[in-house]
Structure 1
């Protein structure tokens, strides 16, 4: 049978003998000519069917317009089979609407494949743990008020794991406000971790754990004095070896508060308090409930982690909105007492009238915008007075991260990006009270 890719055998026509020269030379010439006209042993290339003018073969299956249109998304993602891709591309050649839709889908797919950083997503650990806990809840859950501390110490530990040996000695400047004046203390990355270890020891002492300062050192309630005592008692400047004790203490604190709390709502820790400041001239000092103290330690861990990240040129994000809201709420609740203390020391305007506890008094509305934000009414006349919108005399609005930087002493009250409306004196007193929350 003759086909397009098969050639008939070559047959030489008969030649008269007169063409021979009679001495055999002609026969030899004819033999050479005959061999030269034989078909080649390697077949010639096949002729393309597109060059023959014959119709192209049909696709293995036929799909209507509706089905082909539904395949455009899979085709844009390169998820079609070979036959489906051929059918879709054939259809796009003569269907204008589908071709335009396919082009838009391909552009959208390109946006989904952006360049990715080599650094792990900071929220990856939280998502993995949340997924694991959803499948198998822990027997002893971490109290909700201790979760921010657990998250922030884990983030800082991940940063420390990534930095090099020499970066542990990178200079870091601790900043805070003392009596309305900015104060700073120069240290290193290792020195910052030693500072966190020493101040977290206040929580350890309240829980009955070992004090990182040791038994020979009398317990101190002032964060600055505790830090200086630890620096003097250890290598100075500290080395990266401090990471081990700090990391072990954070884990021990989380384990202990989880057992002490007696459940997710902290019912078993109601009587525990932790010193927040050193005693004043009259022997008064501020103490926080354990749940608030753990939020305060999470706040300081985040702030100093940002100091370290800035020193080693490392990207660092704020806490999650839920954790940031807890930190802002604690600072807002501490403002009335701090404002009263500033009045006693003559660093704030005197109250315009004594207000009994629970009675309505003048208030300032603190509006914190962005992540973790909210609205708080700060009593201006006395810490125990009730504050509401009915007696509002001033309104201050700040971004959430900016408010935390103010409360950490990283930005002055005059330079804080705050919207201000109303009583200027009250606004100034509250902003300076927020800066006074900062400590070493």
Structure 2
């Protein structure tokens, strides 16, 4: 809105202005006072005359807009590529590009460079939006049968992955995916498809289903030693043809059944879930399945070139906490298998403080954990801290998933190098197909 003051309408002033305009139209010359009497007839305009090729004609051939020289237009290409030009400059540059091949090539190159600088934006909603909406609704009307806190991450991650899958066509379902994990301290990979990944999630989630008394999705195909890898291989090997989009429906139905069942019968989540070689209580098994759903969601998104965000901070914190709590037992298993690097182990009584590593997780889902190094039964202690590692939360989870090598993972390291290496290798060894 203009800052000019409002002036009342004046018929006499309006008539005077109209008569002045009429005199200008009908007179033979200019009205007195209109001409600049100090200017010479052939005087050049002041300013940088070199920037104007034709002071009277614009870039589009009209009067009043000066045509910019080639060197000026060329200097504006960078700003044009960044969409930082004024509308007049933009019009002049784009008209020039239609006539100058060299500048057109340079403009194309600059636009491509700008595209590389911009991070691709996901068309999906914020991963935390669903959680915030549900929390708001549940505060207003509490549910009769609430979903346990320890199952919320699984509920959210399966919903996110299903939203990614819903618009996939045949091409996306058969897109190649390379699964990655660590085995014997070496990176391992396995090729499958998007449908094959969902079949893998269906098979391993079946371990929780069996523990809850639900039908096993593998039925009679389940192997005797029901490790996640063995179940996956059995499923892939015995299906009559490679999995297709048809695997989505049973996978999604099973995820709903798991959440519904733990809500009704989960209790404290202490029910043991067998993973073949070890067991996890139900509340940790649901976090483990949420973690794997997110990691493989990233695998699928990468295969179809689509952005996929990490979980919300609260859910990511739970996943980090699970991995941190499992590390002492994993360190002990590696020690018994002869994979330990550090030779400074001390005998520590159960519950007593021992050598410890401080695991500092930064960013969303962050926190600090004291990892006992001498025994799973020992207590982490700040007084006995011998090493310190700092990592980003999602980076630590990718290390535990075998997607980042131990050598590349730690953003900051301080203290006993052998202890640090032991912990990083132990974290990577928790990964599996």
Give the TM-score of the pair, scaled to structure 1.
0.70
Of residues 299, 313, 320, the one that matches 1:321 is: 313
Work out whether residues 359 and 386 of structure 1, in 8 Å CA contact, stay in contact via their aligned partners in 2: yes
Residue 93 of structure 2 is matched in structure 1 by none
Q: How does 1:371-390 map to 2 (within 5 A)?
A: 371-390=364-383
| 1:275 corresponds to 2:268 | no
Give the structure 1 partner of residue 363 of structure 2.
370
Q: Assess if the C-alpha contact under 8 Å between 2:273 and 2:281 holds in 1.
A: yes
CA displacement 1:141-199 (0-9 Å, x = unmatched) = 00000000000000000000132221000000000001101111100000000000000
1:421 and 2:414 are equivalent in the alignment: yes
Q: CA deviation at 1:119?
A: 4.2
Corresponding position of 2:12: 52
Map 1:220-369 onto structure 2 (within 5 A): 220-262=225-267, 266=268, 269-270=269-270, 272-276=271-275, 278=276, 285-349=277-341, 350=343, 352-369=345-362
What is aligned with 1:80? none
Equivalent residue, structure 1, for 2:217? 212
Residue 125 of structure 1 and its aligned partner are, at CA, apart by 2.9
**C-alpha distance in structure 2 between counterparts of 1:227 and 1:390, whole Å:** 44
* 1:184 equivalent in structure 2: 189
Cα distance in structure 2, aligned partners of 1:375 and 1:119:
31
Distance 1:214 1:351, change over 3 A: farther
In the alignment, the residues of structure 2 paired with residue 360 and residue 236 of structure 1 have an alpha-carbon distance, to the nearest angstrom, of 55
Which deviations, in whole Å up to 9, do the C-alpha atoms of 1:321-365 show, x marking residues without a partner?
000000000000000000000011111135522211111211111
Structure 2 distance, partners of 1:273, 1:430, is 26
The aligned residue for residue 73 of structure 1 is none
Q: Runs of 5+ in structure 2 lacking a partner?
A: 1-7, 15-120
Q: 1:365–1:375: 8 Å Cα contact kept in structure 2?
A: yes
Secondary structure at 1:387 match in 2: coil
Q: 1:242 to 1:430 in 2, by over 3 A?
A: same
Cα offset, 1:236, TM superposition: 3.4
Comparing 324-333 with 342-351, greater Cα deviation is found at 342-351
Q: Secondary structure at the match of 1:314?
A: coil
Indicate how the Cα distance of structure 1 residues 337 and 155 shifts in structure 2: closer, same or farther if over 3 A, else same: same
Partner SS state of residue 390, structure 1 = coil
Indicate the larger mover: 287-296 or 410-419: 410-419
Counterpart in the other structure of 1:193? 198
What's 1:281 paired with? Answer: none
- 1:434 aligns to what? 427
Q: Which moved more, 1:142-151 or 1:414-423?
A: 414-423
Which residue of 1 is the match for residue 103 of structure 2? none
Runs of at least 5 residues in structure 1 that lack an aligned partner in the other structure = 1-47, 55-115, 279-284
Mapped to 2, the partners of 1:117 and 1:294 lie a distance apart of: 27
Number of residue pairs aligned between Structure 1 and Structure 2: 320
CA contact (8 A) 1:351 1:382 kept: no
